[in-house]
Structure 1
């Protein structure tokens, strides 16, 4: 079979060979300012591989052989460096994308298994080359998801996997990051290696999914992949005028916030200088450092300052300035773009990349842009950012989230007790906790008591200690220890669950692991470490992984159920933590809300021994959902 395909006849030979196989791997190389955005990037190389064949198809690579390397020479007259680009001869004749995808259409739009390393990117990148068609249909395989399910702690890049399994160490020039800068032959070799090893990795890893007892999780993640294609193809409509208005508002807010910082400090200083902020905070203000940088200096980030919030005017003003500055740079300039960064809005939409393998617990991560780090939905800026999501005319937003889902999962695993009973009695979990710890009736729980309960929940779920509870509750360390002791007395089943889970996980060999609600594996090898610090960190991760991983299971299953039951023209827009947002034709909004509710909390989603609840809002702006 042809290794390099540069004619239509050769391409037909490839199709005829691959049509006799039930699966194939493929890989694309993209170019352009937005090469990482499938909706607008340009494919210049495509590789397809299966048993006995790996064919590389160039489509417009600009360079031939390298004639002269890029150089630079110092200009004696100006003292600056003059740069001279590399020189190449003419590239060989190549096929046009329209020719390639027309011939390959029967492969991509067949029931053959289509495998890629980070399949959503490759599938959405090729989708736009098939006029009138959406992305290729399932079944799918994804070697990066397979690698992650089999060992979530390792590096997941294809080259890392190849180095580990085959001892291959290729592409020292990072060819794939900018293929247009390299010679034709070098890119050909690189593309062939990526395509061939993707196929080989697939053939190696897929049977391991079965051996590890992960078939159900694999099926769920491939259904999630299909859902992500739907979301990625549609994008998220953004109100650009509202975004520009928010930019003006934030710029004004930043000026006021900066002035308040100087007033609180008693002098003007370089607000961007970390050493100057350290001097004011820890020398002039006399604060005790709660966190240090890797170099040992006292930190000035939000986590380090949070314990002093509400207690120190300078800290409050500085935190406010940093919040406003981050909102402006990340969500306004980041989306609109400026001289230093390209826009992330295309045709009035953003195309965030939800990464299903992005965390060790199973939860999504996100990039370009990252919607997972939006401020809290109930905060002023959280509402402002969410309100930028603008349903197209004739459509409504449907927004829902799980009510206190991590606490419900904790109650499920801990079993019958005060927390478990509280959910069955319909009492808010934090209110129930505060009532028990402080010995008052639920209706007498104050805002401060509830804040303490939230701090306790954080400590349980994330393995935090008494100092963190003290900081979050704005109380003393001594009082925090008393509160935690009372909590353990009132909620003994929670602590019994934690101890039993740790014993069970630690006893498993050769690598300690736990399984989440739906059977996802979380491996914690450092539980057996001789390093006390690593071992303690792993111990803190046990409960967090059990609860967050189970939360991820439920959210992903809900997305799949919603995707598989969408009404005509209904589109899933985003999932942000425990929230899911969809867009639905206005005349079907009530019915769409029922579908969303069923997907998240219908009978088949009552997976816990306490009720799972969600409240779906129909709105024009996201802030109306709170």
Structure 2
């Protein structure tokens, strides 16, 4: 390791990196929101390449040795406890961030490969030192590469190091709060992060080629560039509307709590799971549909959903739990709540969600700080309310589009010609067509209840659910659900043939069963060969889901990339949520922007499926207007 603390050392190091084709880099950040690139403070940066790793501190507050541990003592006068911070020796001289980033600009903004573990975080963290401009491609991201090579394993850097080299370091988790640690400890940690990232890259990148994933790698690196665009600007939100929604939800919570007590005929602690279990499963006599990890009857929404509309206590508890989740997760989770020690996630009127392209095993996005991927569906009351918090800037409007029944279209594509496939070409709604076939009625005679049954069947096919789930979702008996599924198989034999064919193909692959999605992403399902009946059954249920949902992820990511490459001046991609994409566009080019978004998602050269893919772009001031 070379520790750099003066400009002579810095210039010498840059001269070495100047002769390399690429390098890995890693930043260590501090501040109340150290995990948010837009507002954190970079205090260390380390770089590694062939033959050299350098560590550059830029204002670490502590020296090498601890003089006094953090402690607390009682004030003899007031009787209150006082917290005394740890005392360290003085830190060594360090370069200023402006000096370091000025010198590193030629490397970071060159055509050299820039590698990091979770690259969007590091790239966006340094962008603020270049007036918001983030380093250009080419990029390499070891967390994405490791995930593509095996989506079933932990992909944290230290986990990868232990797996590959049996290397264990940073037992103190220094990166969580570097200011709690001494200068030498952080220097060692920063060195290990950069050096091991580069060494992992040298193994991971050839692995991508060996696995036949070059096209998917190119797509994911284009997605990374899209995330940089989205993450650099953030998402403007209506803070006043958020505060009003908080007040409304708190009032609704009080009403829902009263509804629960009236339905149960007594007052109890709604936050107590054991008390809810006693009310629901002993006093109300409900049959548990789901157990917790400890084997107790679950009281979560999934467990209670089958009784919705059948039991007043269940209805009241579900309403209470839904309002509580919306308030806690999507309102106070953004605004913050000092009582629950929740920090705000709004900075300068914007949120900066961390979208993780590697966040699921199927390829779909996950997100955090705040989580936008778990927003309620757009057509629901709360789904509309949460989306309406997005507030386009003055002179801008929202462009919102989603795919129409995309998972059913993917299913029809894979299943091939048949009733489902033909229905899309005839322009018939998939759930309506399914209900008409199963119940033997004309499409125009399909009732709301019939269509709900069709939705339950689609869920069962796509997610490997059984008759009981169909019965619960359709509010019918298990016997009737089995009859419905049998009729569905008679009407749509191509769907069941596809499922059997896919499972047979995936199971036959060695040494580890896997499938490929529409664009070639690999999804590994080793438990298909398990001798454990439960694990094998779960893997079998995941086969079709992974094929369809993974292909859905492919299509959505490709649409984002196409939009990012074709967006008009002034357009900003804001979010992707479920199958929706939202962008902000100057009002005077809204129509042109809508066409760009439409073509990115379902234009003439986006015909990946053998059935038509449709999307409807709405120009609006509030997201709810898109539905």
TM-score, normalized by length of structure 1? 0.98
Greater shift in the superposed pair: 258-267 or 580-589: 258-267
Equivalent-residue separation in structure 2 for 1:445 and 1:74 (angstroms)? 73
Greater shift in the superposed pair: 252-261 or 388-397: 252-261
Paired position in structure 1 for 2:112: 112
Deviation of 1:86 (Å):
3.1
Deviation of 1:603 (Å):
1.8
Paired position in structure 1 for 2:162: 163
CA deviation vs aligned residue, 1:62-109 (integer Å, no higher than 9, x gap): 111223463657869999987654331111000111110011111111
Query: Is the CA contact 2:20–2:49 (under 8 Å) kept in the aligned structure 1?
Result: yes
Question: Does the residue aligned with 2:510 lie in a helix, a strand or coil?
Answer: coil
Paired position in structure 1 for 2:408: 407
Q: What is the 5 A alignment of 1:372-391?
A: 372-391=373-392
Equivalent-residue separation in structure 2 for 1:18 and 1:351 (angstroms)? 32
Greater shift in the superposed pair: 82-91 or 459-468: 82-91
Paired position in structure 2 for 1:452: 453
CA deviation vs aligned residue, 1:425-469 (integer Å, no higher than 9, x gap): 000000000000000000000000000000000000000000000
Equivalent-residue separation in structure 2 for 1:81 and 1:148 (angstroms)? 47
CA deviation vs aligned residue, 1:564-585 (integer Å, no higher than 9, x gap): 0010010000000100000000
Deviation of 1:380 (Å):
0.6
Paired position in structure 2 for 1:357: 358
Query: Is the CA contact 1:39–1:124 (under 8 Å) kept in the aligned structure 2?
Result: yes
Deviation of 1:134 (Å):
1.1
Equivalent-residue separation in structure 1 for 2:68 and 2:470 (angstroms)? 59
Paired position in structure 2 for 1:142: 141
Query: Is the CA contact 1:60–1:96 (under 8 Å) kept in the aligned structure 2?
Result: yes
Q: What is the 5 A alignment of 1:131-280?
A: 131=131, 134-280=133-279
Equivalent-residue separation in structure 2 for 1:430 and 1:310 (angstroms)? 22
Matched, 1:427 2:424: no
Distance of aligned partners of 1:283 and 1:79 in 2 relative to their CA distance in 1, 3 Å threshold: farther
Paired position in structure 1 for 2:94: 94
Query: Is the CA contact 2:71–2:86 (under 8 Å) kept in the aligned structure 1?
Result: no
Q: What is the 5 A alignment of 1:488-507?
A: 488-507=489-508
Equivalent-residue separation in structure 1 for 2:211 and 2:83 (angstroms)? 54
Distance of aligned partners of 1:110 and 1:265 in 2 relative to their CA distance in 1, 3 Å threshold: same
Deviation of 1:19 (Å):
0.9
Paired position in structure 1 for 2:522: 521
Query: Is the CA contact 2:438–2:488 (under 8 Å) kept in the aligned structure 1?
Result: yes
Paired position in structure 2 for 1:59: 58
Query: Is the CA contact 1:72–1:81 (under 8 Å) kept in the aligned structure 2?
Result: no
Equivalent-residue separation in structure 2 for 1:74 and 1:17 (angstroms)? 51
Deviation of 1:243 (Å):
0.7
Paired position in structure 1 for 2:48: 49
Query: Is the CA contact 1:119–1:141 (under 8 Å) kept in the aligned structure 2?
Result: yes
Paired position in structure 2 for 1:604: 605
Q: What is the 5 A alignment of 1:304-315?
A: 304-315=303-314
Deviation of 1:255 (Å):
1.0
Question: Does the residue aligned with 2:2 lie in a helix, a strand or coil?
Answer: coil
Paired position in structure 2 for 1:511: 512
Question: Does the residue aligned with 1:527 lie in a helix, a strand or coil?
Answer: helix
Deviation of 1:6 (Å):
0.4
Deviation of 1:167 (Å):
1.2
Equivalent-residue separation in structure 2 for 1:400 and 1:73 (angstroms)? 56
Query: Is the CA contact 1:411–1:420 (under 8 Å) kept in the aligned structure 2?
Result: yes
Paired position in structure 1 for 2:129: 129
Paired position in structure 1 for 2:296: 297
Equivalent-residue separation in structure 1 for 2:134 and 2:75 (angstroms)? 55
Equivalent-residue separation in structure 2 for 1:87 and 1:161 (angstroms)? 35
Equivalent-residue separation in structure 1 for 2:99 and 2:74 (angstroms)? 47
Equivalent-residue separation in structure 1 for 2:14 and 2:594 (angstroms)? 44
Question: Does the residue aligned with 1:128 lie in a helix, a strand or coil?
Answer: helix
Equivalent-residue separation in structure 2 for 1:264 and 1:376 (angstroms)? 28
Paired position in structure 2 for 1:337: 336
Distance of aligned partners of 1:65 and 1:278 in 2 relative to their CA distance in 1, 3 Å threshold: same
CA deviation vs aligned residue, 1:129-162 (integer Å, no higher than 9, x gap): 013x511101100000000010111100000000
Query: Is the CA contact 2:67–2:89 (under 8 Å) kept in the aligned structure 1?
Result: no
Deviation of 1:331 (Å):
1.0
Equivalent-residue separation in structure 2 for 1:505 and 1:51 (angstroms)? 40
Query: Is the CA contact 2:281–2:288 (under 8 Å) kept in the aligned structure 1?
Result: yes
CA deviation vs aligned residue, 1:544-599 (integer Å, no higher than 9, x gap): 00000000000000000000001001000000010000000000000000000000
Greater shift in the superposed pair: 405-414 or 15-24: 15-24
Deviation of 1:10 (Å):
1.1
Deviation of 1:540 (Å):
0.4
Query: Is the CA contact 1:65–1:88 (under 8 Å) kept in the aligned structure 2?
Result: yes
Question: Does the residue aligned with 1:33 lie in a helix, a strand or coil?
Answer: coil
Equivalent-residue separation in structure 2 for 1:169 and 1:321 (angstroms)? 45
Q: What is the root-mean-square deviation in Å for CA atoms of aligned residues?
A: 1.4
Paired position in structure 2 for 1:31: 30
Query: Is the CA contact 2:460–2:470 (under 8 Å) kept in the aligned structure 1?
Result: yes
Equivalent-residue separation in structure 2 for 1:48 and 1:532 (angstroms)? 48
Paired position in structure 2 for 1:283: 282
Paired position in structure 1 for 2:369: 368
Query: Is the CA contact 1:4–1:56 (under 8 Å) kept in the aligned structure 2?
Result: yes
Paired position in structure 1 for 2:551: 550
Matched, 1:533 2:534: yes
Q: What is the 5 A alignment of 1:67-82?
A: 67-68=66-67, 70=69, 72=71
TM-score, normalized by length of structure 2? 0.98
Question: Does the residue aligned with 1:366 lie in a helix, a strand or coil?
Answer: strand
Deviation of 1:408 (Å):
0.2
Query: Is the CA contact 1:66–1:87 (under 8 Å) kept in the aligned structure 2?
Result: no
Query: Is the CA contact 2:66–2:182 (under 8 Å) kept in the aligned structure 1?
Result: no
